Structure 1
Amino acid sequence: MKKSITFLLLLCTFTVNAQIELTLKGKLTNAKDGNIELWQRTEGELEPVIENIKINSQGEFAQDISLVYKDYYVFFLNDSISLDIVVEGSQTIEIFGDANDLINTAVIHGSDNSMKILDFQRLSNALDSQVDSLGKELQLHPENQDEIVAYFNEIYGEFITKRDQFLEDNKFTPALIGTFASIDSDEEWDVLQRVILELDSCFNESPTIQRIVESYNQFIENAFNKLNSVPKIGDEAIEIELPNPDGKILKLSDYRGQVVLLDFWASWCGPCRRENPNVVAAYEKYKKKGFIVFSVSLDKNKEDWVKAIKKDGLTWKTHVSDLQYWQSQAARDYQVEGIPASFLIDKNGIIIATDLRGEDLENTLKEIFK
């Protein structure tokens, strides 16, 4: 499956140029005889475009630079202070400010999107500063945790409101890239997706945006493949061939004709150990009717594994493990991301239920063996 993103390129106001001529100039106070560099991000790394733009005794600098790509570049002052610069074509970009506090004083002419990225950076920095102060306050006065957390939620909510307004005001502009760090990809996937699509729509000549879109497409493809590879009810159980504590290889398919509870657990898993009495009770009640438990341990230490089997009274003989922890091949095949995890498999090797616990397991087995 290959997903791709198609966008309304009519919204984009940029045109492809074979050669881009950038004039970078400006005046910085407190930067006498300093040095400026311009770098470009390539495959996640920064590489220099030009490393020796001199600042004269009046704080002035000027440099004509030939570029290949419209893209995001990084302006470095004296190897440390940096500004993000958006080059959208042949243009003149002027930077003014105080070198002692460039982030807060810089004014960028000739590139509105560069200035907008800087404005959002200042907004983010202000939040970071407040959060740092709250962290110190919490360390000094842990008894005020509720009030401090409430205040954090308040200022963070205000920040998100301002960020969302920034997203609205700057739709389909290269400035949107400045918001990436503020987007929680788990909680705000829709926001992240929209920003990526809008950036691709109007700045897709940028190698940086091309890499972001490529990563996004790969993520979507992987997620789609993973979703379709997760064993689910109605699927045939995937074969498992692993050694038991004595080193003998046991195969899940050898137990066709019986109802099998495929149980992923580990000696170090508290919830698993607490659930084991329910599994033991089910096994003892239904084993003579054709029910077995095929236990796959995600342990790393054989001694701990065997000790837990004995201590919890897991008397069935179908215990297996490759002692590879979360890298267990069986766990990967069944897309197990948390334990306990279980799959109930019928006599034909078909998954008929997942993650049955306690009473649910008992009721399901009761119905099967009635």
Structure 2
Amino acid sequence: MKKYLYLLTVIVTFSACHRNDFTVTGNVSDAEGKTLYFEATQIDKIVTLDSIKLKSDGKFTFYAPKTEFPEFYRLRLDSSYIHFAIDSTETVTFQTSGKSFTDYSVEGSEENKQIQEVSKAGSLLKNEVDKILSNTGTSDSIRIANAKRLLNALDQYKKTTLPIIYGNPKSKAAYFAIFQQVNGNIIFDPFDKEDSKAIRAVANAYDVYYKGSHRAKQLYNMAIASLQAERQLKQPTLLEQAKEASLIDISLPDIKGKQQKLSDLKGKVVLLDFTAYQTDYSPEYNILLAKIYKQFRDKGFEIYQVSLDNNENFWKVSASNLPWICVRDEASIYSTVANLYNVKNLPSAFLIDRTGAIQKRIASIESISGEIQKLL
């Protein structure tokens, strides 16, 4: 009788210890001897919460205290991850293999099934980006084809994630989708009009349902900064007020990391061009620029092209074989340079004469040849 009372006491005590915890459990086959890590993915860092050395049966169980607001976690095996989120004392169960860790099944949480969808879409996008980056070539046709493949890959990712975001913007999966990255570059670009709508939808929902949480504050600040940047771009600058503006210098890195100064081109006629390669117009637009550049480059003409893409990969792929000076402002929508030049739309271009004075803002690239000829 005492034995049974002891066992009952152990069971009750164990249950009491975890009544305010959530549980992550499951099985990882074909991973005997490997260490499985349970980690918290905080806004600014990754924190290891627990780990287990897997046995032949692959079973694992982790516990952690429930949080007031949704939080994000991951299981890590070697360099592979399973991402998930928790906001209650739920139990989430994963079944996977050490040979294909990211190909898993999840039970106990519909939202984590949606996070799985987002993760799969992100993996497909990364695989396509890596293939494109390895497909280097010197011809315009290869460069343009690569740019279009990148845009198509992005479009496929958003076809998967946008219904999740707009279907339930307060969901953990919506937040997870907004902050996904490929090779260190965020996918949803605050500079893009449609992407900005999705970001603000999630920011508004989190501000309503999770007000006071650090993730709601993060989204709120991001949305406000985006709105402020748009308003700043609409404000008149000294450039607009001056009849003839002297050069506002720019110094930004090219694809090799070398700083390129606009002022170093004094003595040449320069087309200063603000653009974004991650747009539908970009391939055809750069073809037009290439024709103009070929026509005048031997007469003292240069193009200084500033990319406002937030995605460094897109910029490098598209700019790698362009013959003129290509630089990028990583601040994207928050670009101080773009603000100083009162760039409201992309593309935006300016003609600079040999003395370094800005002569005019270009309304149409197709009709620019005559203006360049005059300055030359």
TM range (shorter): 0.5 to 0.7
Partner of 2:55: 56
More off after superposition, 179-188 vs 64-73: 64-73
Change in Cα spacing, 1:140 to 1:73, as seen in structure 2 (3 Å) is: same
Q: Is the 8 A contact 1:74 1:82 kept in 2?
A: no
Report the CA distance between 1:191 and its aligned residue.
2.6
Find the aligned partners of 2:198 and 2:230 in 1 and give their Cα distance: 18
Q: Which residue among 207, 216, 221 is the counterpart of 2:223? A: 216
Find the aligned partners of 2:237 and 2:71 in 1 and give their Cα distance: 39
Number of matched pairs: 251
The runs of 5 or more residues in structure 2 that have no matched partner are: 1-18, 181-186, 250-261, 271-328, 330-335, 344-348, 353-357, 363-376
After TM superposition, list the pairs within 5 Å mapping 1:162-201 onto structure 2. 162-180=160-178, 181=180, 182-187=187-192, 188-201=195-208
Matched letter for residue 263 of structure 1: S
Report the CA distance between 1:98 and its aligned residue.
0.9
Q: Secondary structure at the match of 1:113?
A: helix
Render the CA deviation track for 1:258-293: whole Å, top value 9, x for unaligned.
xx8552356736488538xxxxxxxxxxxxxxxxxx
Render the CA deviation track for 1:189-229: whole Å, top value 9, x for unaligned.
22322232234444446533332323433554566578669
Matched letter for residue 174 of structure 1: K
Find the aligned partners of 2:135 and 2:56 in 1 and give their Cα distance: 44
Matched letter for residue 96 of structure 2: G
Change in Cα spacing, 1:149 to 1:358, as seen in structure 2 (3 Å) is: closer
Find the aligned partners of 2:212 and 2:37 in 1 and give their Cα distance: 23
Partner of 2:115: 117
The percentage of aligned residue pairs carrying the same residue is 10
After TM superposition, list the pairs within 5 Å mapping 1:263-342 onto structure 2. 263-265=246-248, 268=263, 270=265, 273-274=268-269, 335-336=340-341
Find the aligned partners of 1:160 and 1:88 in 2 and give their Cα distance: 25
More off after superposition, 58-67 vs 90-99: 58-67
Q: Is the 8 A contact 2:72 2:86 kept in 1?
A: yes
Render the CA deviation track for 1:117-175: whole Å, top value 9, x for unaligned.
12111112113223333443444997655555555554544443333333344443221
Partner of 1:357: 360
Report the CA distance between 1:26 and its aligned residue.
0.9
Matched letter for residue 268 of structure 1: S
Find the aligned partners of 2:41 and 2:170 in 1 and give their Cα distance: 21
Q: Is the 8 A contact 2:350 2:359 kept in 1?
A: no
Give the root-mean-square deviation of aligned CA atoms: 4.4
Q: Could you tell me the TM-score, scaled by structure 2's length? A: 0.53
Q: Is the 8 A contact 1:21 1:90 kept in 2?
A: yes
Find the aligned partners of 1:68 and 1:358 in 2 and give their Cα distance: 54
Change in Cα spacing, 1:38 to 1:214, as seen in structure 2 (3 Å) is: farther
Find the aligned partners of 1:142 and 1:42 in 2 and give their Cα distance: 43
Matched letter for residue 119 of structure 1: E
Q: Could you tell me the TM-score, scaled by structure 1's length? A: 0.53
Q: Is the 8 A contact 1:73 1:87 kept in 2?
A: yes
Report the CA distance between 1:62 and its aligned residue.
1.5
Find the aligned partners of 1:270 and 1:152 in 2 and give their Cα distance: 32
Find the aligned partners of 1:156 and 1:218 in 2 and give their Cα distance: 24
Change in Cα spacing, 1:179 to 1:263, as seen in structure 2 (3 Å) is: same
Q: Is the 8 A contact 2:235 2:342 kept in 1?
A: no
Matched letter for residue 123 of structure 1: A
Partner of 1:305: none
Render the CA deviation track for 1:228-266: whole Å, top value 9, x for unaligned.
6955878xx9xxxxxxxxxxxxxxxxxxxxxx8552356
More off after superposition, 150-159 vs 185-194: 150-159
Partner of 1:319: none
The runs of 5 or more residues in structure 1 that have no matched partner are: 1-18, 238-259, 276-325, 343-354, 360-370
Find the aligned partners of 2:142 and 2:225 in 1 and give their Cα distance: 45
Q: Is the 8 A contact 1:70 1:206 kept in 2?
A: yes
